[in-house]
Amino acid sequence: MMRRPAPDAAPVAKEYLINLIDSPGHIDFSSEVSTASRLCDGAIVLVDAVEGVCSQTVTVLRQSWVEQLKPILVINKIDRLVTELKMSPSEAYSHMSKLLEQVNAVIGSFYQGERMEEDLQWRERMEERANAAAEKDRTKKQTQDDESTQGGADTADYVERDDEDLYFAPEKNNVIFCSAVDGWAFTVRQFAAIYEKKLGIKRAILEKVLWGDYYLDPKTKRVLGQKHLKGRALKPMFVQLVLDSIWAAYEATTGGGKGKGYDITYT
């Protein structure tokens, strides 16, 4: 991979050795998943775009959580949304949005459970220290200054944590959309690079708005939020710039739409 040794230096080739450990997704092979997770620094979690979150998905996500791995979510078999379920691009976008919410809900349940346990342990420590301080006060072995210092340490023990980085979000490039059987996969970063020059919008901005309630005004080529639509029926940018193109390719190659593809040229 090409990397810059310094911000102003020319890119140079740098080699990386990556070991991939493939573990079966079937519930009978949970021990293999458990063993592999202890050997890895990260995890790629595959979810079927049609089947969605299954019991084994929760098990695998929990294993990656317990081992403190940094997972990447792969929404696989998107081709099934076209060829089997006959969804429109807008319907597929809504379907995948709900799927992503389901996966993040699982992650959120792990986080909330851990925080509740930490909160309970903190309260137990606080109670123990309060009882110890009261006992010392009764026996006149602790001064008032010591008590106030001890109380300050108690209240500083519990620290709130930000859970924003725990969740999957395409704009964070930790979600991959793919069809393994047809051999393609992408993140929003790749489509942002494609449309950067065509739309005259910086790639960093496109990465943030290609997924979510953002819309492209066909006349002004400006990105609009949902509250600025003013009643216009515009497609989300992910549908207009990404899914419409994929669906057009499938329609043209699988005989859908009478063998005719859509016009996917954006000016």
Residue-wise pLDDT for 127-141, tens only, equals: 777 777 777 777 755
Question: How many CA atoms does the CB half-sphere of 89 hold within 13 Å?
Answer: 19
Question: Minimal CA–CA distance to 30: which of 52, 53, 60, 54?
Answer: 60
Residues 6+ apart with CB under 8 A from 201: 195, 221, 223
CA 130, CA 135: separation in Å to the nearest integer? 9
pLDDT digits (tens, 9 = 90+) for 53-84: 998 899 889 989 999 998 999 999 999 999 99
End-to-end CA gap in the chain: 33
CA 185, CA 180: separation in Å to the nearest integer? 8
Backbone angles phi, psi at 166, to 5 degrees: -80, -20
What pTM was computed for the model? 0.76
Give the pair of three-digit tokens for residue 169: 């979000």
CA 33, CA 39: separation in Å to the nearest integer? 10
| Residue 166 pLDDT | 87
| Residue 72 pLDDT | 95
| Residue 162 pLDDT | 62
Strands 2-3, 12-13: pairing is antiparallel
Give the pair of three-digit tokens for residue 216: 């492209």
Question: How many CA atoms does the CB half-sphere of 205 hold within 13 Å?
Answer: 12
pLDDT digits (tens, 9 = 90+) for 142-190: 455 554 544 444 445 556 666 678 899 999 999 999 999 999 999 999 9
Question: Minimal CA–CA distance to 213: which of 228, 203, 231?
Answer: 228
Give the pair of three-digit tokens for residue 247: 């669906």
pLDDT digits (tens, 9 = 90+) for 76-108: 999 999 999 999 999 999 999 999 999 999 999
| Beta carbons of 250 and 83 less than 8 angstroms apart | yes
Query: Does position 265 have pLDDT exceeding 60, yes or no?
Result: no
Three-point CA angle 154, 155, 157, nearest 5°: 70
DSSP-based helix, strand, coil % in the chain, nearest 5: 55, 10, 35
